[in-house]
Amino acid sequence: MTTPLLKVENLRIALAGDGVTYDAVENVSFEIGRGEAFGLVGESGCGKSITALSVMGLLRRPLSLAGGRIILDGKEIQNVSAAEMRRLRGKRIAMIFQEPMTALNPLSPVGRQIAEMFVLHEGANWNEAMDRAEDALRQVRVPSPERRIKDYPHQLSGGMRQRVMIAIALACGPDLLVADEPTTALDVTVQAEIIDLMAELCAAKGTAVLMISHDLGLVANMCQRVAVMYAGRIVESQVADAIFATPTHPYTQGLIDSLPRLGERARRGRQKLSEISGVVPSIANYPAGCRFNPRCPAVTDVCRTIVPEATPLPADGVVRCHHHG
């Protein structure tokens, strides 16, 4: 087997509170192959975004890496120096964020922000870099890029800003693109276009994607494999099609069943939506054992005391549930 591009092993992220430390992410492991799109799905607070930040080496207090390894292309990167990480970031791994307005520099024209990538990482001079920035804007299908490179972020619409973010992220042809809810702030018709654009450019450049989202449908459309997180742990990971066809963890099953889906009412009439009872636990009150146990329809005594181990599923899938099989 070839070495995966990114391997995250037993990742543990600590959150320092008032004299106490919580595990915000615990035992998270996954692999992403070259050119593969991998999705990490979960609700707010489940730890998916900080997992992405840890891959980028961007965890800041009160969050810190408390254990585990992050291996990029065979090399451990969780302990490299800040200078080394800066060289990796943007060049080998790049990230796009949910809100492009807060991620772009408001005081700098967008062309310059793209060109900076070529200057910093490839030693290009500014003239050449600006020409390449114009090409990059053309690639993300910003209309009349020769004028747009002089625009400031506030002069662009949300969708255009996200295109600029994608142009910056993909400027140096990174091996891995980390996309944290890249379309959540956008309108649905614009979202569809941006996702298609991202998928197309990454496929053309052979860039792998780590996509973070709360929208299981969106992730399953874009990614080959999907992992579902709940309360700081991965509860299930499967091939994207399989996660809808045969969801295995009760949380995944509950999520998929609870969403009203297009076409369902015409097919079966209006059925009452199945509910997941209870609420997402807060990090200070994570239950013992399986963290989904207070909300799980199949809960038994063992779920309340013992953390379930990972059980393999077909095609490299994994589920963490005592009642699987």
Partner 1 sequence: MAEPLLSLDDLAVHFKVGNALAGGIKTLKAVDGVTLDVKPGECLGLVGESGCGKSTLALAIMGLLPPTRGAMNVDGQQISGATPPDRMKMARTVQMVFQDPYASLNPRQTVRRTLADPLRLHGITDKAEVEARVIDMMAKVGLRPEQADRYPHEFSGGQRQRIGIARALILKPKLVLCDEPVSALDVSIRAQIINLLLELKDEMGLAYIMISHDLGVVEHVSDRVAVMYLGRIVEQGGWQEIFENPRHPYTRALIAAIPDPFHRAAISADAKARGEIASALNPPSGCHFNPRCPLKADICTAEYPAFGEVSPGHRAACHFRDRVG
Residue 154 as a binder of partner 1 (CB under 8 A): the answer is no
Nearest to 184 by CA among 151, 228, 224, 215: 215
Residue 187 as a binder of partner 1 (CB under 8 A): the answer is yes
Residue 215 as a binder of partner 1 (CB under 8 A): the answer is yes
- Here the contacts of 152-157 (C-beta below 8 Å, separation 24 or greater) are 152/106, 152/107, 152/108, 152/109, 152/110, 153/100, 153/101, 153/104, 153/105, 153/106, 153/110, 154/101, 154/106, 156/110
Q: Which of 255, 303, 319, 321 binds partner 1 (CB under 8 A)?
A: 255
Alpha helices in the chain (DSSP H): 48-55, 82-88, 100-103, 110-122, 126-139, 145-148, 158-170, 188-205, 216-222, 240-245, 250-258, 264-268, 301-305
Residues 290-309 that bind partner 1 (CB under 8 A): 295
In the bound state with partner 1, the residue whose beta carbon lies nearer, of 107 and 279, is: 279
Q: How far apart are CA 191 and CA 108, in angstroms?
A: 25
Segment interacting with partner 1 (CB under 8 A) among 5-13, 24-32, 257-265, 301-309: 257-265
Residue 190 as a binder of partner 1 (CB under 8 A): the answer is yes
Handedness of CA 125, 126, 127, 133 (dihedral sign): positive
Residues 98-127 that bind partner 1 (CB under 8 A): none
Nearest to 53 by CA among 21, 2, 108, 15: 15
Minimum CB distance to partner 1, residue 238 (Å):
12
Q: Which of 60, 61, 154, 270 binds partner 1 (CB under 8 A)?
A: 270
Backbone angles phi, psi at 93, to 5 degrees: -125, 135
The gap between the terminal CA atoms of the chain, to the nearest Å, is: 28
Minimum CB distance to partner 1, residue 89 (Å):
29
In the bound state with partner 1, the residue whose beta carbon lies nearer, of 171 and 218, is: 218
Residue 199 as a binder of partner 1 (CB under 8 A): the answer is no
The answer to whether residues 211 and 48 touch, using CB atoms and an 8 Å cutoff, is no
Minimum CB distance to partner 1, residue 317 (Å):
16
In the bound state with partner 1, the residue whose beta carbon lies nearer, of 204 and 259, is: 259
Segment interacting with partner 1 (CB under 8 A) among 14-22, 95-103, 129-137, 189-197: 189-197
Q: Which of 76, 275, 301, 316 binds partner 1 (CB under 8 A)?
A: 275
Binding site residues, partner 1, CB under 8 A = 43-44, 157, 159-160, 187-193, 196, 214-218, 220-221, 240-241, 244, 251, 254-255, 258-267, 270, 272-276, 279-280, 295
